[in-house]
C-alpha cells in the first residue's frame, strides 16, 4: 500500500454506541489497553501529532470509541481504557456495551485487521490485559503486544523487563512484543511496519 499522507487526518466519529461505528469497510487498526497505559499518546506519536487523539486528563472518563481516518486509507480506533476502578456502575455498563460491541458487531469486526494491545512495560500485563490477550488469541484476531513507557526504564532494565514478560506470559503463544515510548518515539517505525503488513 502507498504510505498514507499523515497531514490528511480526520476524526470520523467519537462513538458512544455501536450503532455509530463506521461501516465503510476501510481497514481498522485498534488500540486496546487499560486506562492510562498510553493508547492516545501512541496514536499521536504514530501520526506525528501532539494532541490529535486526546491525551486524557481525566483517565477512564471518556467512554467512547474514537475512529480516526488516515488519508482515506485506514482507520485507527482508540478504544476506551479498561480497568478503571473509579468508574461508576453506569459508566462501567456503557463501557462494556461499547467495547464488546466493537469486538462483536460484525461489520466492524470484518474490517479489524490488527489490534495493538498495550501493556505498561514497568508492570507487565494485568489480569485484564491477560484476559484481553486470551480473547484475541481465541478469536484469531491478529495482534501485537506493545510495551509502553519504555523511556521510564534504563536500557538494561528495559531488556530485562521484556525478556521477563516474554518468559512469564508469552512463552507458549507466539507473541510479537514491541517496546515503545511516546517520549522518545522508540518503536514507532516498527509499529508502522506491523500496520503496513496487514493492510
Ligand atoms: P485512557 O484514554 O484513559 O484510556 O488513557 P490512554 O491509554 O489513552 O493513556 P494516555 O495516552 O492518555 O496517557 C496517559 C498518561 O501517560 C499521560 O500522562 C501521558 O503523558 C503518559 N504517557 C503515555 N505514554 C507515555 C510514554 O511512552 N512515556 C511516558 N513517560 N509517559 C507516557
Ligand atoms: Mg486515551
Which ligand does the CA of 146 lie closest to?
1
The pTM of this model reads 0.93
17 CA distance to ligand 2 middle (Å): 17
Residue 154 lies inside a defined structural domain of this protein = yes
How many structural domains comprise the chain? 1
Residue 117 lies inside a defined structural domain of this protein = yes
> What CA–CA distances, in Å, run from 131 to 36, 136, 159, 171?
18, 9, 25, 16
What's the domain range around 125? 9-198
pLDDT in tens, 127-181: 989 988 998 998 889 999 999 999 999 999 999 999 999 999 988 888 999 999 9
153 CA distance to ligand 2 middle (Å): 22
Residue 1 lies inside a defined structural domain of this protein = no
109 CA distance to ligand 1 middle (Å): 26
Residue 142 lies inside a defined structural domain of this protein = yes
Q: Which three cell numbers stand for residue 154?
A: 534504563
Residue 148 lies inside a defined structural domain of this protein = yes
Which ligand does the CA of 148 lie closest to?
1
Ligand 1, atom 15, residue with closest C-alpha? 36
Residue 4 lies inside a defined structural domain of this protein = no
Q: Where are the beta strands (DSSP E) in the chain?
A: 9-15, 28-32, 65-70, 74-78, 112-120, 143-148, 177-179
pLDDT of residue 171: 87
- Say which CATH number the domain at 156 has: 3.40.50.300
pLDDT in tens, 73-103: 999 999 988 876 677 887 777 777 778 788 8
The three-state secondary structure class of 112 is strand
182 CA distance to ligand 1 middle (Å): 8
Query: Does residue 7 register a pLDDT over 90?
Result: yes
Counting ligand 1 atoms within 8 A of each CB, the residue from 38, 40, 118 with the most, and so the one to mutate, is 38
Phi-psi region of 48 (alpha: psi -120 to 50; beta: other; left: phi over 0): left
How many other β-carbons are positioned within 10 Å of the β-carbon of residue 113?
18
Strand order in 143-148's β-sheet?
Answer: 9-15, 65-70, 74-78, 28-32, 112-120, 143-148, 177-179
Which ligand does the CA of 84 lie closest to?
1
Task: Pick the atom of ligand 1 nearest to 59's CA.
Answer: 3
Local confidence band at 188 (pLDDT 50, 70, 90 cut-offs): very high
Tell me which DSSP letter residue 141 carries: -
pLDDT of residue 85: 66
Residue 67 lies inside a defined structural domain of this protein = yes
Q: Return d(Cα 36, Cα 45) in angstroms, integer.
A: 15
Which pairing describes strands 143-148 and 112-120: parallel, antiparallel, or unpaired?
parallel
Counting ligand 1 atoms within 8 A of each CB, the residue from 49, 182, 183, 184 with the most, and so the one to mutate, is 182
Residue 101 lies inside a defined structural domain of this protein = yes
Amino acid at each position: 500500500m502507498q504510505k498514507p499522507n499523515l497531514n490528511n487526518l480526520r476524526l470520523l466519529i467519537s462513538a458512544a454506541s455501536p450503532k455509530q461505528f463506521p461501516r465503510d469497510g476501510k481497514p481498522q487498526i485498534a488500540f486496546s489497553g487499560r486506562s492510562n497505559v498510553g493508547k492516545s499518546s501512541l496514536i499521536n506519536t504514530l501520526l506525528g501529532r501532539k494532541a490529535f487523539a486526546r491525551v486524557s486528563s481525566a483517565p477512564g472518563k471518556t467512554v467512547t470509541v474514537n475512529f480516526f481516518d488516515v488519508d482515506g486509507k485506514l482507520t485507527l480506533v482508540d478504544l476506551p481504557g479498561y480497568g478503571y476502578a473509579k468508574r461508576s456502575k453506569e459508566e462501567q455498563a456503557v463501557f462494556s456495551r461499547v467495547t464488546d460491541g466493537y469486538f462483536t458487531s460484525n461489520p466492524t469486526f470484518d474490517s479489524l485487521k490488527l489490534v495493538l494491545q498495550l501493556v505498561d512495560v514497568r508492570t507487565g500485563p494485568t489480569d485484564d490485559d491477560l484476559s484481553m490477550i486470551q480473547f484475541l488469541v481465541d478469536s484469531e484476531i491478529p495482534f501485537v503486544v506493545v510495551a509502553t513507557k519504555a523511556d521510564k526504564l534504563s536500557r538494561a532494565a528495559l531488556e530485562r523487563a521484556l525478556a521477563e514478560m516474554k518468559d512469564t506470559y508469552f512463552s507458549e503463544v507466539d507473541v510479537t512484543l514491541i517496546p515503545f515510548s511516546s517520549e522518545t518515539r522508540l518503536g514507532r517505525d516498527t509499529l508502522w511496519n506491523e500496520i503496513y503488513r496487514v493492510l
